[in-house]
A and B are shown apart, each in its own frame.
Chain A
Amino acid sequence: MAARGGVAVEERVGQVVLPGDVLVVPAHPDEDGERLRLGAPPAPHTRLLCGPGLRRCDAGLLVTKCGLLRHRQAAGGAYWVDSQQKRYVPIKGDHAIGIVTAKAGDVFKLDVGGSEQASLSYLAFEGATKRNRPNVQVGDLIYGQFVVANKDMEPEMVCVDSSGRSSGMGIIGQDGFLFKVSLGLIRKLLAPKSEIIQELSQLYPFEMVLGMNGRIWVKARTVQQTLIIVNILEACEYMTAEQRKQAFAKLSGN
């Protein structure tokens, strides 16, 4: 099979890769394999980043997830696999929407859709002190960021950035609508200058929170407008760009 022989990684960028495929990384001209194996620290500009869905193996990179191979030319280059998944696995630095499930002493437990509930300290809010506790109830929605997320530990979230500001994070208001989409769609929506978001913003004014865990919270002026946006976003999962443009044209005509 061609996969076993190993295909050069650049040839596969933008194409579908399957688990078990081996991608060969081009060797840097001034570095031979011997030096790499001896653990000589490679120069920073040649460092290759191996993103989600890829692992290092003897021959190069081993694909572990199916999806489209992506590449970014920055600091030696980064490769990752863009896959359509439904189950979220917490990653450090990700912004996610959690649902408060329990208040246990100093921490809140949040359901973020991962395998384990995330913890959130009551001090991790803007302006929170031991005296001044945030008003968080079970069932509330919280938009926060992961500061601890690895396979061996309980994930931990915060609602403040490094300078102690909330920067948009915190408790999400009472009304609005929360729904789930695939993780691939969320990434598409969060991409800079996402076409879907730009087209949507031309319809009506609305508020939206996108969590990397596949949860979207939407609030528009009326319930009807909120539901229209929800339906469009849910349908975006299965529509091509062409179909989406037609659907938007129909809506803006009304």
Chain B
Amino acid sequence: VAMELWGYRAMGGSCLRPFSCELGPLSRPDGSAAFLQGDTSVLAALYGPAEAKGNRELPERAALEVLLRPKTGLPGVGERSREQLLRRTCEAVVLGRLHPRCAVSVVLQVVADGGSLLSCCLNAACMGLLDAGLPLASLFCGVTCALHPDGSLILDPTTRQEQEARAVLTFAIDSAEKKVLMASTKGACSMEEMQQCIAAAQSAADTIFQFYRDSIRRRYSKS
């Protein structure tokens, strides 16, 4: 196990699909980002801190809402459940107490789904939050791992790899302490396998955070 773990660490970003990001593609929202991971693409639009409507208003912190729009059709139960996962993750890093009685809405539009959709949504949401300039305690990123029936571990799987996999695990990792903010699993896996996936996700997170830094640096190089 230790050997394999090292293998993934040493490979670092090489096992992730190529990713790219565009900051501020939309003019109307307060912050926006388009995140691409291989064939998966998500567009995030962020509004806020804006005035909260009616019962949504919280007296001591900002009310965060996440809306996940599928590529076609209306959002269903699956989208609702993902929205909650994304909302909780965002709430963990956003310093909402600095904007009481305000509302922050994150709208995520799936442009293309080629696997690892939830991790792409997480990355798009984080870049959107960065672009909007909301106060954050740290950053987060999403990493999806797929466990193959033969026991091998695939980071950032494609739709096909996800279908073949025995279990698919998605983690949100924060940048400050590399802690797991959110975990979502589909399928069965052992305790050791889960630990192995977390370790692989944590090492992949470094690559993603470095990518975040490079994207932001590129954006600010013009000013």
A203 to B98, CA, bound (A): 43
Tell me if B146 counts as interface (CB < 8 A to partner A): no
B137 touches A18 (CB 8 A): no
The distance in angstroms between the C-alpha atoms of A189 and B123, with both chains bound, is 33
Query: Residues of A contacting B222 with CB < 8 Å?
Result: 238-240
Chain B residues contacting A62 (CB-CB under 8 Å) are 137
| Set A18, A65, A68, A115: member contacting B102, Cβ < 8 A | A115
A19 and B220 contact, CB distance less than 8 A: no
Given A87-B30, A152-B100 in contact, is the A4-B177 Cβ separation under 8 Å?
A: yes
Asked if A1 is at the interface of the complex by the 8 Å CB criterion, the answer is: yes
- Docked-complex contact B223 and A184, CB < 8 angstroms: yes
Q: Which of B111-119, B163-171, B180-188, B210-218 interfaces with chain A?
A: B210-218
In Å, the complex CA distance between A152 and B101 comes to 8
Given contacts A19-B130, A68-B223, A86-B31, whether A3 and B175 have CB atoms under 8 Å apart is yes
Task: Verify if B4 is at the interface (C-beta below 8 Å from A).
Answer: no
Confirm or deny: A83 has a beta carbon within 8 angstroms of a beta carbon on chain B: yes
Q: Are A16 and B213 in contact, CB atoms less than 8 angstroms apart?
A: yes
B79 within 8 A of A: no
Do B133 and A20 have beta carbons less than 8 Å apart?
Answer: no
Report chain B residues within 8 Å CB of A151.
98-100
Q: Please state if A16 and B95 are interface contacts (CB–CB under 8 Å).
A: no
The interface stretch among B8-16, B34-42, B47-55, B70-78 is B47-55
A123 at the interface (CB under 8 A from B): no
Q: Is A4 in contact with B176, judged by CB distance below 8 angstroms?
A: yes
What is the chain A residue whose CB lies nearest that of B51? A115
* A64 in contact with B223 given A16-B216, A85-B133 (CB within 8 Å): no
Task: Report B-chain residues with C-beta under 8 Å of the C-beta of A16.
Answer: 213, 216-217, 220
Q: Is the CB of B49 within 8 A of A89?
A: yes
- Determine if A115 and B50 form an interchain contact, defined as CB atoms under 8 angstroms apart: yes
Give A1-47 interface residues, CB cut-off 8 Å to B: 1, 3-4, 16, 18-20
| C-alpha spacing A241/B176, complex, angstroms | 35
Chain A, residue nearest B217 (CB) = A16
Q: Tally of A-B residue pairs with Cβ under 8 A? A: 94
Q: Is A121 an interface residue (CB 8 A)?
A: no
Q: Could you tell me the distance between the alpha carbons of A20 and B48 in the complex, rounded to whole angstroms? A: 21
Q: Does B223 contact A18, Cβ atoms closer than 8 Å?
A: no
Q: Decide yes or no whether A84 CB sits under 8 A from chain B.
A: yes
A209 within 8 A of B: no
B100 touches A64 (CB 8 A): no
Q: Mask for B131-142, Cβ within 8 A of A = 1, else 0?
A: 011111111000
A66 to B216, CA, bound (A): 8
Q: How far is the CA of A115 from the CA of B136 in the complex (A)?
A: 18
In the complex, whether A170 has a CB less than 8 A from a CB of chain B is: no
Give complex CA distance A89, B212 in Å: 25
- The distance from the CB of A211 to the nearest CB of chain B, in whole angstroms, is 17
A133 at interface by CB-CB < 8 Å: no
Complex Cα distance, B154 from A17, in Å, reads: 32
CB distance from A54 to the nearest CB of B (A): 10
Q: Kindly state the separation between the CA atoms of A240 and B218 in the bound complex, as whole angstroms.
A: 13
A–B complex contacts, Cβ < 8 Å, 12 sampled: A3-B175, A4-B177, A16-B217, A18-B212, A20-B136, A20-B139, A84-B219, A85-B31, A86-B133, A87-B48, A87-B49, A240-B222
By a beta-carbon cutoff of 8 Å, the part of chain A in contact with chain B is 1, 3-4, 16, 18-20, 53, 55, 62, 64-68, 82-87, 89, 115-116, 151-152, 184, 188, 238-240
Q: With A85-B30, A87-B49 given, name 15 new contacts (CB 8 A).
A: A19-B135, A19-B136, A19-B137, A19-B175, A20-B174, A20-B176, A64-B95, A65-B133, A65-B134, A66-B130, A66-B216, A84-B223, A86-B31, A86-B133, A87-B132
